[in-house]
Structure 1
Amino acid sequence: MPRKCLSSGPDRNLRRMDPTAASASMIARAEAAWQRGNGEAAMAFYGRAADLAETGGDLDTRVAAVLGLARGQQYNLTPGLLPVRLHAAYEMAADPAARVRLAAALARCWSYANEPLRARPFADEALAGAERASDMVLLADALDAALTAHWGPDELARRQDWAFRLGDAAAHLVDPDARLQAHLWGLTVAWEVLDLPRMHRFMRALEVLGEESARARFFAASRRLALEMLRDHVHVGPLLIEQAETAAKAAAIPDSESVLHAMRGYLAWCSDDAEGCALEAPEYEHFALDHGVAVVRAEAAVMWIGAGRPDKVREMIGGFTAETLAELPRDSDWLLTLQCVLEGALAVGDREVTAAAAGLVAPYAGRSVLNAGAVMWHGVTDDTLARAAALLGDHDTAARYRAAALATYERVGATWWRDRLLARGPTEPQTAADEVVVRFHEQPGGLWMVGRVGAEVVLPRVRGLEHLHTLLRHADSDVPVLALAGGGVVVEQGGLDILDEESRRMLRGRLAELDAQLTVHENVDRRQERGAIADYLVGATGLVGRRRTTGSHDERARVAVRKAIVGALARIAEADPWLGRHLHDRVRTGRLCRYQSDPDHPVRWLLQRS
């Protein structure tokens, strides 16, 4: 008796249907398989549905099918025919909503394939279309695509803004996947700037969402591991890996195996488990070689360090010449790749690779380094830059970076990272006993790094920071206000808003906080800060929001510069009260502006990118 094929009945029925009905049936089966967690079957059904819809000329079903196929793409792998199928549907689609969704899918497709330059035009088009449509579902999808496509090291300011907007757009959506993406991006951006309260807030949001979604449970467990390892709580690692494995069986997650390997490997690395690293390192190496993925090759070097195999470390970093490093795409993996290459080069004392990688990382001093999507934290760039400078013989620079890294690790409670750096041996900073070292400079992409070394914060670019930077460069000297405002030769500054809507929202929020604190306990510093912010807000806008003006050119410049500096000081004081108070006390504005240093409490200002 011949064996009966289980699919013969349904397939025979499909052949009797017209192509439109058959493709719709396949879509339904694909969705059912996806919900059951059977991603492989879902992709097969979506592919068949796309073929049937194309044959039958059913564009709507074809769009749904190729968008379903896009859900199954794996990160860092060549996408095959997926971008071709997406683009064919995109070119045919006339419906604005369909074009937004297809453009967003194309942006993610090329981003996952490490092609950010191809991804960005589609992401930008999707976002513009979603904004025109005023549809929160489309906007959430487009913002997720924009964040994915603009994940480079110079675009952090845009990601901060977009992650905030995505949280707003997804907050009231029924779809748990939209809320999941919003929480993941909020967590990722918080990790990038090491904002601990927001990291814990979004971590908790993921765990709450896990009560209604197996996918969210997987992401919550994997991201919780990175947060626990930050604090050296490695004992919870096996439980979290077990939770992630269980959730992965109940949900279709294309990258689940890669994430689980990362969890096991980095748990072994942070546990100083050489045997565990030796088990995972070959997996990283084979994946990197089979698929030509630079970042995984760099991570393989780190795993081989943990396994105690310097020969394999040399083999892994051997592919990263200075030319190769310079040509790496500036995407989500760029900073991670360089950080891991530096770890490998430092482990084996390769000065040539160290110098090449450190030269590229140096403009990003003080930055937090993440495995894409916050699967694992790789410390701060100051850590590897300190060890690189020491290997290359620049001990003063090494001491400065080392002090900065240790201070950051202390601030965020990164005990494993702190102890590891301390064990490398000290290179004492060459500073006066009571000297405070403060970073105050612009970074690539327009962000500003401001604060005492080890306690820096990332601030958006506003004109007041540029004014303060100029005064600090000309410390103890009078600077004409017209020069600050752009009418002289001391500094040239582009046209920036003195008070944008984000600044207004932040300042009003700070006023509310100060009012609440002052009702409980009177404090002179808080009262002065409240008065300065209130004056600034009143002066920045006149009746019905109009900008006030004054008569003479120099008077307008004086008022504009004062407002800009007060606004910048409010931002600084919120992040670092000591620095805000110091600058408030030492900066004078008027027709002549001045920063007056304090000889009794010296400050060494780092005013240029290292």
Structure 2
Amino acid sequence: MTTSRELDVAPATRGDDALELSLAAGERALLDEGDLRTSRIRFDAAYREAERWGDGQGMARAALGLGGLWVHEHRMAAVAGMVRARQRTALSLIDPQSSLALRLRVRLAAEKDYATGEHASIMALVAEARRAGHPVALAEALSLAHHCVLGPEHGALRLELARELIGEASRTGRRADLLMGLLWHVVDLFSSADPHAERSMRELRDLLARRSHLAAGGVLESLEVMLSIRLGRFEEAEALAGTCAKRGEATGDVSATGWYAAQIGTIRWYQGRIAECLPALTDLVGSPVLSPLDNACYAGLAIAAAHSGDRRLAAGTLARLRGRVQDGAPRSNTWLFAMYGVVEVAHLLGDAEAASQAYELLSPFAGLPTLVGLGGACLGSVHHSLGVASLTTGDADTAVGHLVKAVDGNLALWHWPAVVLSRTRLGEALTLRDGPRSEAARASLDLAAQEAAQLGMPVPAEASGRPAKVGRSGDRAPVLVCERQGRQWRVALGSRTALVGDSVGMRHLATLINNPGQEIPAIILAMGPAASSGDSAPAQPVLDDEAKRGYKRRLSELDAEIEELESADQFERAAALSAERRWLIAELASASGLGGRTRRFVDSEERARIAVGKAIRRVLKRIADADAGIGAELRATVQTGLLCSYHPK
């Protein structure tokens, strides 16, 4: 009884012609109208009527129709099991040499191959259908085989299957076969970054405008969402995605849920709001309506967790995701999308091992776009992921090479948000390679900011993981936190954290970080509690009396301001003032010796420059070893010399 309810079963029609009427109604709904939900109702009624009369041919036609147009249309285990059982039962009742028997064997083989990520069985039946000369059996075999080779390594094979299906449609005379052939051809062209994909899409659109087909039209609408995202029209894309999802649900397309999640996740990613998706994605990964080969949801969850600051969930989801997409695992039409997530999260977590493995797996597909599903969402060129993976492993030269190609590839795709993101990462890679004064890096970052403003999207967080700044209005400075925890220092940037041991260089660096934009003489940094008092060189106070009074006045002001900000829930501003307060206290403490006597320092600026510079460079290396992204940010923003400073970009 549960199974019937899940299939939306209607009561069987009574009468001598009930069976043929139900079969004809099911075939019309499925093939002519693309109405998956209605066809299931009709075919279920037909199967029960044929079973009642012991009509093997009728049972076979109905069981075949219950499979639908796509593979794995029945996601609930009980329903899927019932449909497969009906198909096997019907197959046992009809002539094994018949075209109908071949079509049932094609369906069963395709479902099995798809579930296991294989395609040998279905391709063998494609060859058998060619030899048998059964046009309908061959057309169905070609379409179902296409489902089983959706991994990025099978692009050429998919195109061959789609083109053959278009030709075979002239022999079957079934409009559905032509629509499926054209649809697969469009999807394949987009998946291979073919510049003529939109021409083929127009041909399909014109055909559907003359007479609709709900299932094919749903995929076409999904592609329209993807193109709107590429153009940076986020509000339009979100509205289209909502309409597409509702129509897919009404039609009975179980994939609509996954498509919608991928589309909204992509929009939020480019809007800098991916963390908002965390609750929905946490719920979605456990949904039984997702395909067993769909790993895009895990990628989205890992990225959302990392950007929300939940490093434990991000690391755990990354580990689960790597286990599902590592070398040897089946590759589907969500594989590239999932690998994009692996790379981004590995970078945010500083996981060089995961990034290195992802680089090796992605390298053969560098020239492809990162699409999910049947083209419902696109994250730009795979070169982008290869560049970010190289940044994570510290290979700046390789990162620059890939990111230059990513910018070019995304321009060719007309994917403007992806261009902005790749330009930003390229600026980071150039900074890492050439240093903070790199003109090429600054030019890339400035152009990315201009393009982001034109699109109304946030200026993306750079590869170091610092928070994004909003384009057009509302810019906010990045917040890098440095605080002592016992014998260690915690350096945090966005969701990234590095722990390093206490040292003279770390204390110098903490002073600079807590005073962004201020130039502090190296000789001031060099003097601290451990300074020698036995040097006979000329000396002067670290802080004169007037400076001390000024520091104390500022401390009183800060106490009042911090209390007021915290009461108004303005915690980010309060945190910045607290950092200034900690620095002032530290300066007053370091300027006073035993009994509160003024501490004095040796006036040897050159010796201080050398010592402080070496100490800071040593600690920067230790931070980079702990987290490559934070290390890259600090190398690009900390300057040493006679005057030392930290200048956030």
Q: Shorter-chain TM-score: what band?
A: 0.5 to 0.7
* Whole-angstrom distance in 2 between the partners of 1:77 and 1:200: 37
Distance 1:327-1:387 versus aligned 2 partners, 3 A rule: same
Superposed displacement of residue 190, structure 1 = 0.8
Q: Which residue of 1 aligns with 2:164?
A: 165
Query: RMSD across aligned C-alpha pairs, in angstroms?
Result: 3.7
Superposed displacement of residue 298, structure 1 = 2.6
The reply on whether 1:266 has 2:272 as its aligned counterpart is: no
Distance 1:288-1:267 versus aligned 2 partners, 3 A rule: farther
Residues 105, 145 of structure 1: 8 Å contact kept: yes
| Equivalence map 1:158-307=2 (5 Å) | 158-170=157-169, 175-206=174-205, 208-213=207-212, 214-245=214-245, 247-248=247-248, 251-274=251-274, 277-278=277-278, 280-287=280-287, 295=295, 296-304=297-305
Q: Which of 58, 61, 65 is the matching residue for 1:64?
A: 61
* Whole-angstrom distance in 2 between the partners of 1:210 and 1:285: 36
Residues 207, 217 of structure 1: 8 Å contact kept: no
Q: Which residue of 1 aligns with 2:330?
A: 329
* Whole-angstrom distance in 2 between the partners of 1:402 and 1:173: 47
- CA offsets 1:295-343 (integer angstroms, 9 cap, x no match): 1323432454566655543232131456972342134343333333223
Superposed displacement of residue 390, structure 1 = 1.7
- CA offsets 1:524-557 (integer angstroms, 9 cap, x no match): xxxxxxxxxxxxxxxxxxxxxxxxxxxxxxxxxx
Question: Which amino acid in the other structure matches residue 427 of structure 1?
Answer: A
* Whole-angstrom distance in 1 between the partners of 2:387 and 2:249: 43
Q: Which residue of 2 aligns with 1:420?
A: 421
* Whole-angstrom distance in 2 between the partners of 1:159 and 1:269: 30
* Whole-angstrom distance in 1 between the partners of 2:341 and 2:263: 16
* Whole-angstrom distance in 2 between the partners of 1:421 and 1:390: 12
Residues 100, 127 of structure 1: 8 Å contact kept: no
For structure 1, which segment, 187-196 or 94-103, has the greater mean C-alpha deviation from structure 2 after superposition? 94-103
| Equivalence map 1:442-453=2 (5 Å) | none
Q: Which residue of 1 aligns with 2:379?
A: 378
* Whole-angstrom distance in 2 between the partners of 1:195 and 1:208: 21
Q: Which residue of 2 aligns with 1:94?
A: 96
Residues 167, 183 of structure 1: 8 Å contact kept: yes
Distance 1:359-1:242 versus aligned 2 partners, 3 A rule: closer
* Whole-angstrom distance in 2 between the partners of 1:89 and 1:163: 29
Superposed displacement of residue 292, structure 1 = 6.1
Residues 47, 58 of structure 2: 8 Å contact kept: yes
Distance 1:133-1:220 versus aligned 2 partners, 3 A rule: same
* Whole-angstrom distance in 2 between the partners of 1:332 and 1:89: 32
Distance 1:430-1:199 versus aligned 2 partners, 3 A rule: farther
* Whole-angstrom distance in 1 between the partners of 2:387 and 2:348: 14
Question: Which amino acid in the other structure matches residue 354 of structure 1?
Answer: A
Distance 1:77-1:288 versus aligned 2 partners, 3 A rule: closer
Superposed displacement of residue 156, structure 1 = 1.8
Distance 1:323-1:126 versus aligned 2 partners, 3 A rule: closer
Residues 299, 342 of structure 2: 8 Å contact kept: yes
Distance 1:187-1:343 versus aligned 2 partners, 3 A rule: farther
Superposed displacement of residue 423, structure 1 = 1.7
- CA offsets 1:554-580 (integer angstroms, 9 cap, x no match): xxxxxxxxxxxxxxxxxxxxxxxxxxx
| Equivalence map 1:89-128=2 (5 Å) | 89-91=90-92, 92-113=94-115, 115-117=116-118, 119-128=119-128
Structure 1 residue runs of 5 or longer lacking an equivalent are 1-9, 432-610
Secondary structure in structure 1 of the residue aligned to 2:96: coil
Superposed displacement of residue 386, structure 1 = 1.2
For structure 1, which segment, 389-398 or 91-100, has the greater mean C-alpha deviation from structure 2 after superposition? 91-100
Superposed displacement of residue 52, structure 1 = 4.8
Secondary structure in structure 2 of the residue aligned to 1:254: coil
* Whole-angstrom distance in 2 between the partners of 1:185 and 1:318: 33
* Whole-angstrom distance in 1 between the partners of 2:331 and 2:220: 28
Superposed displacement of residue 230, structure 1 = 1.9
| Equivalence map 1:300-315=2 (5 Å) | 300-304=301-305, 310-315=311-316
Secondary structure in structure 2 of the residue aligned to 1:286: coil
- CA offsets 1:207-228 (integer angstroms, 9 cap, x no match): 6414422333322211111122
Larger radius of gyration: 2
Distance 1:208-1:279 versus aligned 2 partners, 3 A rule: farther
For structure 1, which segment, 422-431 or 68-77, has the greater mean C-alpha deviation from structure 2 after superposition? 422-431
Superposed displacement of residue 419, structure 1 = 0.9
- CA offsets 1:468-498 (integer angstroms, 9 cap, x no match): xxxxxxxxxxxxxxxxxxxxxxxxxxxxxxx
Residues 96, 102 of structure 2: 8 Å contact kept: no
| Equivalence map 1:6-25=2 (5 Å) | 14=14, 23-24=19-20
Superposed displacement of residue 123, structure 1 = 3.9
- CA offsets 1:96-134 (integer angstroms, 9 cap, x no match): 321332233224423553x232x5313431443145316
For structure 1, which segment, 85-94 or 382-391, has the greater mean C-alpha deviation from structure 2 after superposition? 85-94
Superposed displacement of residue 371, structure 1 = 0.9
Secondary structure in structure 2 of the residue aligned to 1:397: helix
Question: Which amino acid in the other structure matches residue 240 of structure 2?
Answer: L
* Whole-angstrom distance in 1 between the partners of 2:168 and 2:290: 39
Superposed displacement of residue 396, structure 1 = 2.3
* Whole-angstrom distance in 1 between the partners of 2:313 and 2:303: 10
Q: Percent identity?
A: 20
* Whole-angstrom distance in 2 between the partners of 1:42 and 1:162: 26
Q: Which residue of 2 aligns with 1:341?
A: 342
* Whole-angstrom distance in 2 between the partners of 1:166 and 1:31: 19
Residues 158, 188 of structure 2: 8 Å contact kept: yes
- CA offsets 1:251-295 (integer angstroms, 9 cap, x no match): 342323332333333333333334753464234333279986561
Q: Which residue of 1 aligns with 2:47?
A: 50
How many residues are treated as equivalent by the alignment?
Answer: 415
* Whole-angstrom distance in 2 between the partners of 1:306 and 1:103: 47
Secondary structure in structure 1 of the residue aligned to 2:331: coil
The reply on whether 1:142 has 2:141 as its aligned counterpart is: yes
Distance 1:363-1:161 versus aligned 2 partners, 3 A rule: same
* Whole-angstrom distance in 2 between the partners of 1:106 and 1:181: 19
For structure 1, which segment, 259-268 or 217-226, has the greater mean C-alpha deviation from structure 2 after superposition? 259-268
TM norm structure 2: 0.56
Distance 1:175-1:348 versus aligned 2 partners, 3 A rule: farther
Distance 1:304-1:44 versus aligned 2 partners, 3 A rule: farther
